[in-house]
């Protein structure tokens, strides 16, 4: 099975997890980059990010070069904004709706507070699926690195690896 990690990261937490998943599984990676960057500091970060998530905005994204037809599973990664997934993920899904049909999906959320489970539910609805193959919620995995968090990430990664036994 060929996997692709599609993620958006504002502060590096989601990118940190994407790198660990890719290193552990060999999955390819696509970083979503909005044409107009979100503020990443102070009140503006929370106001504009939260507003954008609550209003279900669809920011324009820079072009990606991945051929989605070669992937069996898409693993989405995103920061949680106002108990929702970050808007660049919505843009990607809507721009690629036809190409995503028939794929398997997994997702992980990175949060500083709460709302990860709600955000995952909203993402499943946006994708038109009942549930994901696998999900995980990580609390500031890069900003607050710990052995426990890295173990949680490793456990999530193992869900995507297939062990072939010689026999």
pLDDT in tens, 91-129: 999 999 999 999 999 999 999 888 999 999 999 999 999
Cβ proximity of 76 and 27 under 8 Å:
no
165 within domain boundaries: no
Q: What domain range is 98 assigned to?
A: 3-158
Confidence grade of residue 56 (pLDDT, cut at 50, 70, 90):
low
CATH of the domain at 140: 3.40.50.360
74 within domain boundaries: yes
pTM flag (> 0.85): yes
141 within domain boundaries: yes
Check pLDDT > 50 for residue 87.
yes
Tens of pLDDT, residue by residue over 10-50, are 889 999 999 999 999 999 999 999 888 765 766 556 656 66
Total domains in the chain come to 1
């Amino acid at each position: 099975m060929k996997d692709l990690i599609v993620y958006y990261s504002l502060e590096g937490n989601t990118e940190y997890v994407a790198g660990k998943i890719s290193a552990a599984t060999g999955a390819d990676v696509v970083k979503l980059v909005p044409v107009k960057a979100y503020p990443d500091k102070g009140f503006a970060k929370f106001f504009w990010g939260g507003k954008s998530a609550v209003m279900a905005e669809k920011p324009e994204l820079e072009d990606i070069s991945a051929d989605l037809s070669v992937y069996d599973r898409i693993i989405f990664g995103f920061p949680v904004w106002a108990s929702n997934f970050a808007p660049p993920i919505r843009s990607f899904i809507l721009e690629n709706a036809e190409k995503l049909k028939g794929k398997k999906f997994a997702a992980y959320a990175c949060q500083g507070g709460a709302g990860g489970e709600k955000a995952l539910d909203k993402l499943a609805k946006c994708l038109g699926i009942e549930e994901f193959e696998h999900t995980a919620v990580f609390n500031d995995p890069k900003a607050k690195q710990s052995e426990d968090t890295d173990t949680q990430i490793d456990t999530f990664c193992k869900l995507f690896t297939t062990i072939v036994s010689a026999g």
